[in-house]
Amino acid sequence: MVRVQIAIDGPAGAGKSSVAKEVAHRLGMTCLDTGAMYRAITLKALKEGIDLHNDKLLIKLVQNCNMKIEHNRQKGTLIYLDGEDVTDKIRSPQINENVSIVAKSPGLRKKLVFLQRELAEKSNGIVMEGRDIGTNVLVDADYKFFLSASLEERTRRRWLEMRDKGLNVNYKDLLKEIDQRDRIDQERAEAPLRAAPEALAIDTTDYTFEEVVETVLKTIRNEGC
C-alpha cells in the first residue's frame, strides 16, 4: 500500500474527521485534516486582530507563521502554530464561526493547498479530508468519497460533541451557524465545496460511525487497495 491517496470531502458535521482518522488507522496510513490548517490561521488572525476578509493580510500572515503538522495514530492531526500546540484551541466556537470566512481567501487557499500536496507526496499513503480534496487538492486521488448528512443531524452531532467538551452551545444558534458555513463553503469563488463527479457519495444521516467506516473500507478493498 505505497503512496495511495484517499480523499474524503463533505460539509461540517458529516463525520469526515472521525471517519478519515479511523480509516487511516485501520489501513496504517497517515491522516490529514486540512480544515485544521485553516482553523490555525483563523486562530492567529483573530489573535492579531486582522481583517478576516483581507486576502493580502491573510497571505502575509501565513507566510510569517510557523505551522507544523504531525500525525498521531490516536489523536489524528496535531497542529503546532509558532511552537504552540493549538490542536484543541482551534475547535472553539469562535473558530467555528469564522473559519469559513478565512477559508474563502483565494491566496490563502493556494498557499495551504501547496503545503497539503507536499505532505501527500512525502507520505507513503494518506487519507486527506476537507472540502476540496477530491476536486482541487488531490484531483488524481486513488479513491474519493463525499460524506453528507441532513443539516439537523449534522447540527445534533456537533452539539453533542461540543457538549461533551463542556461547551454550552445553543442548538438553534449552532444550526444557523452550520447552515451559514455551508452557504459560504458552497458559494466561495476558490475551490467551492462540491462532490467530485467520480466520488462515492455517502449520506451518513441514518448510518452508524462503524457502518460508514466499513462502507469506505469495503469500497477501497474491493477496488484493489
Answer yes or no: is 104 within a domain: yes
Q: Which amino acid, residue 51?
A: D
Answer yes or no: is 147 within a domain: yes
pLDDT, tens only, 99-117: 999 999 999 999 999 999 9
Q: What is the DSSP string of 43-103?
A: HHHHHTT--TT-HHHHHHHHHTS-EEEEEETTTEEEEEETTEE-TTGGGSHHHHHHHHHHT
Q: At what angle do helices 151-164 and 171-187 cross, to 10 degrees?
A: 120
- pTM score, whole prediction: 0.90
Answer yes or no: is 217 within a domain: no
Answer yes or no: is 218 within a domain: no
CATH number at residue 182: 3.40.50.300
- Residue 225's pLDDT band (cuts 50, 70, 90): low
Average of pLDDT values for 129-141? 96
Q: What per-residue confidence (pLDDT) applies to 1?
A: 42
Domain that holds residue 92: 5-206
- Residue 9's pLDDT band (cuts 50, 70, 90): very high
Cell numbers describing residue 223: 477496488
